[in-house]
Amino acid sequence: MRLAQCHNFHDFRRLARRRLPGPIFDYIDGGADDETSHRRNTASFEQCDLVPNVLRGVGQVDLSVTVMGQKLALPFYCSPTALQRLFHHQGERAVAAAAARYGTMFGVSSLGTVGLEELRKAHDTPQVYQFYFHRDRGLNRAMMQRAKEAGVNVMMLTVDSITGGNRERDLRTGFSIPFRLTLSGMLQFAIKPMWGIQYATHEKFRLPQLDEHVDMSGGAMSIGRYFTDMLDPSMNWDDVAEMVRTWNGPFCLKGIMSVEDARRAVEIGCTGIVLSNHGGRQLDGSRSAFDQLAEIVDAVGDRIDVMMDGGIQRGTHILKALSLGAKAVGLGRYYLYPLAAAGQPGVERALGLLRAELERDMKLMGCNSLGQLSRANLRFRSASPAGCSQ
């Protein structure tokens, strides 16, 4: 199977599975506990049908959107994800370059493997910096100051990860950073030697956003222990309000799922919120972002930019989210599989296919611009979100 034979999310996933050692593939692919929320994230879109209009004279389609003050050519962006150079040696460099080619936003994680300054200098498209709230308040301030000096456009605080989720696939293989593999996990690396060759012949794996704060070189701190020992489960709304004031720019909370929390985000001055259950990797049984979207848009959508991520595999999924009122959607696994499979060419192909799908779907819906999408275009097969017809 070659990259040119990949035409959708599932093709990229299959190619990534062929090329990655099992423990690394499972790290991308898996979720928490029984992975119920992980599966539900995509299944929730399938309960919603599109109702197109015809004979609307659709010629050119405008897919541009402004979100959190950032002008994007597309209503989807590459969400910040951790450890990208573990999946392919190009890592964030490939994702940032692909996002820049298509004029959309990309995110850099505090657990990223390329420095946010390097990416900011290389690309002038909007850049998000995602970080976690640490017990060390000085570390939090230092990370924000570093992002400010680098010229990052949007600060994104992840609020659903005050402790790590129970990812049992990783427990079975022994996946961690540094590696602590089980015997079966080591065997998976042995039968995929090309990954090891690529890993060994390129620059040393590191976490440049945390180099000055966390020593992982000798196994002193694993990723799991990072979440357990360094992140602060006592984080509260007063802490976040102070961070919003300190940043004094576009500030987004990722991991909001309740109306009450969405309203609090508005009250403390956030620019945007991302509805997310962390790809089903944290609290299993959590509601999907799409199922919760209409309720939160109705509550705060006129006062804050509401986005969502989780389970998006098709252009029609994006159409449904935008029709419910999302300003944009984030992609995670959608670009990680093609990254793992083929580096920058893989991510570019995946984003290009999604843009083509979305443009084609907009024409078939009878819409010239995203502003023409509405809940009138949707019907739900079961209990419907507020304001949507059965």
278 is catalytic: yes
Beta-carbon-side half-sphere exposure of residue 383 (alpha carbons within 13 Å): 3
Least Cα distance to 281 among 262, 254, 251 occurs for 254
Cα separations (Å) of 177 from 108, 185, 205?
18, 14, 10
Runs of H (alpha helix) within the chain = 9-19, 22-29, 36-46, 84-87, 92-101, 116-122, 137-150, 168-173, 183-190, 193-201, 223-225, 237-247, 259-267, 289-300, 315-324, 333-365
Least Cα distance to 379 among 49, 23, 40, 4 occurs for 49
Farthest-apart Cα atoms in the chain, separation: 65
Measured between its terminal Cα atoms, the distance across the chain in Å is 42
Marked catalytic residue, from 88, 134, 278, 317: 278
What CA–CA distance (Å, rounded) separates 226 from 254?
Answer: 19
Which tokens is 184 given?
């079966």
What CA–CA distance (Å, rounded) separates 211 from 184?
Answer: 31
**What are the φ/ψ torsions at residue 176 (nearest 5 degrees)?**
-165, 170
- Catalytic residue annotation: 278
